[in-house]
Structure 1
Amino acid sequence: MSNIDRIFKLPGIIGDDVVLDLKDRKIKGVSDGETVTILRFLELHEGRTVGIGIPPGLWTNYAWAIVRDARGTEHEISTYDLLPAPGRDMVLVPRELIRELPDTPFWEDDVVEVFDGRRGYISTIDYLEVEKPGSDRPVYQVRLSGYSENLHRRSLDLVERGNVWKFYHGEEMEFESAADEASFYHRISHVTSVTNTAQGTSTFPWEQAVEALRNGEADMIWHNWAVAMSDPGYAVSCYTIDDPEVGERCRLEFLDQLDSDAMPAY
């Protein structure tokens, strides 16, 4: 099951009464065993380069809920600290997309110029702040030479669109190598994890990972190749790239590098 297909097991949904299970911990304003009502769940912005298998957008964050106690006071509580009300069972709910990401003048990987002439690229965007009315916080994290800096829109000028924008707009992308291209597809979550069926895990010992690459079961090996090649017990992850043509091209180039002892630069 991919992250996008994940089903969440919750103590209740909006409007349900649930019971606090604090496990001897203290949370200000509430008590262990107290009954509260779920008012809503928090929201989570996923950017375009998170690399955890979730498409970009604003999603329901089922890990946290706003609840109301019997006194009418609201609290932010982890859903792991809640149990179903007596006589009720846990509820299964699918991941929920609330809406697409807000429009921004810059996208992740865009090359920008700072007001003082320095150049870098957008590494992350704080979409939560983008959507806050009246917020004047710097929302663009710009990777410069050797360090990152959070900057405002007014401090930046677009130099060149990066591969993220090009991918979503159907334009030709540029990569330095197969490792660079495979890394890009991993960052934008357009890969699928390969299961190690022999061990029932999501990781492989190095030799098994190489075999998965050679037999076409995997398109890429993810993690530190230098460590993995020197330590047979080092566990790595294998993926297929969602675009079969790209996947096959990357797989063949990786095999060429393996046979020539030239390690991909992850």
Structure 2
Amino acid sequence: MTLTELLQIGDEVVFKVDPERRAWTDIYNDVPDGTKGIVCGFYDAVIYESRVRVLVHQPGVYHRKGAVSVWLSDGRIVPGDWSIEMVDKDQEKRRDAALRGADGILRTPQVRLGDLPETKVWEQDKVRVRFPHDGSEHEMTIGRIDYHHMHQRRNDGSSWPFYDVRFMEGGSTSAEESWIELIERGNVWKYYNNQPLVFTDLKEEASFFHLVGQTEEVRNPKNNLYSWTEEEVLEAIMNGTVHGFSVDSGFFGSGPYINAQRFKDEELGKRVAKVTLEGFGITA
């Protein structure tokens, strides 16, 4: 969660601008570090929560607070961006705690405005794409839909290519909607339209339900964090606390970072747990 989501109009803040930011913008030339001001407003931000990589909010269009504006004692109003800190640290901690659920996950305050805009195809749909620049045609899948660019135009007046389309052999590019022809609906459309899903194996099935938000990350009871050792997570799978785990390689050689997951569908979770343990030569 960013500080913007915790701030309210009337809060006192103090500027602490990153030196690199000062180097490439003149906004803060007359705002030295330590300058105090009062939050006086926020920009409106419209957020598109997609049907995949669902974390907290269900798919749809949402409004939330955007960038903060700060009033200075000399009458100027300047953007806060990532260059301010809240003066009342105790209040900041209280607000942060109030926005966390029992699982410790931060719930960003936002208002649902409506459903996602209609599109001809959805994520994971199988499509045929005709690229006008060379006349080639390819069978591809829809990766991501960039709703923010749906109604934007390029300099020549043509539509913005707001679909991320993926080649069957790997790699991806962008495409306009007019270039795309639907061949077959994928599991994302089927899932949200209550149609039977098709998977090639358990790995694909588990990955899909994780993608659409049907898993919960579980804290390690030994440290109350979301990090686990291999021994700890395997023990948790054996006793039924979690169903499986994923591994992040980490940054700068920090080593693997293990995240434990529990599926909301208990039957699927048990199948994942069984196969996971078998992969380590463990019989449940």
Q: Same fold (TM over 0.5)?
A: yes
Deviation at 1:67, TM superposition (A): 2.3
**Is 1:21 aligned to residue 15 of structure 2?**
yes
Deviations 1:171-197 (A, max 9, x none): 111112222111112222221011110
Question: In structure 1, what is the Cα distance between the partners aligned to 2:67 and 2:196?
Answer: 42
Aligned partner of residue 204 in structure 1, secondary structure: coil
Which residue of structure 1 aligns with residue 141 of structure 2?
121
Distance in 2 separating the partners of 1:242 and 1:221: 14
Deviation of residue 132 (structure 1)? 5.2
Aligned residue type for 2:26: K
Aligned residue number for residue 95 of structure 1: 109
Query: CA-to-partner distance for each residue in 1:76-99, whole Å, 9 max, x for gaps?
Result: 542662536x9x955846521332
Q: Deviations over 1:115-166 (max 9, x none)?
A: 1331111111101112559982111000112210100000111111111111
The unaligned stretches of length 5 or more in structure 1 are 228-232, 262-266
Note the residue ranges of structure 2 that are not aligned, 5 or more in a row: 100-107, 131-135, 250-254
1:11, 1:18 within 8 Å by CA — same for their partners in 2?
no
Amino acid at match of 1:218: V
| Correspondence 1:65 to 2:73 | no
Cα pair 2:4 2:68 within 8 Å, conserved: no
| Pair 1:153–1:9, CA change in 2 (3 A) | closer
Mapped contact 2:152–2:160 kept (Cα < 8 A): no
Instruction: Within 5 Å, give how 1:184-199 maps onto structure 2.
Output: 184-199=208-223
Matched, 1:242 2:238: no
Alpha carbons of 1:208 and 1:68: their partners in 2 closer, same or farther (altered >3 Å)?
Answer: closer
Partner of 1:106: 121
Hey, what does 1:254 align to over in structure 2?
A: 276
User: 1:53 touches 1:190 (CA, 8 Å); kept in 2?
Assistant: no
TM-aligned CA distance change 1:24 to 1:8, over 3 Å: closer
1:78 aligns with 2:81: yes
1:142 is aligned to: 165
Tell me the TM-score normalized by structure 2: 0.71
Name the % identity: 24
- The alignment partner of 2:224 has SS state of coil
Q: Is the 8 A contact 1:142 1:150 kept in 2?
A: yes
Query: How many pairs were matched up?
Result: 245
Question: Which residue is equivalent to 2:105?
Answer: none
RMSD across aligned positions (CA): 3.6
**Residue equivalent to 1:12:** 8
Corresponding residue for residue 50 of structure 1: 53
TM-score, normalised to structure 1, is: 0.76
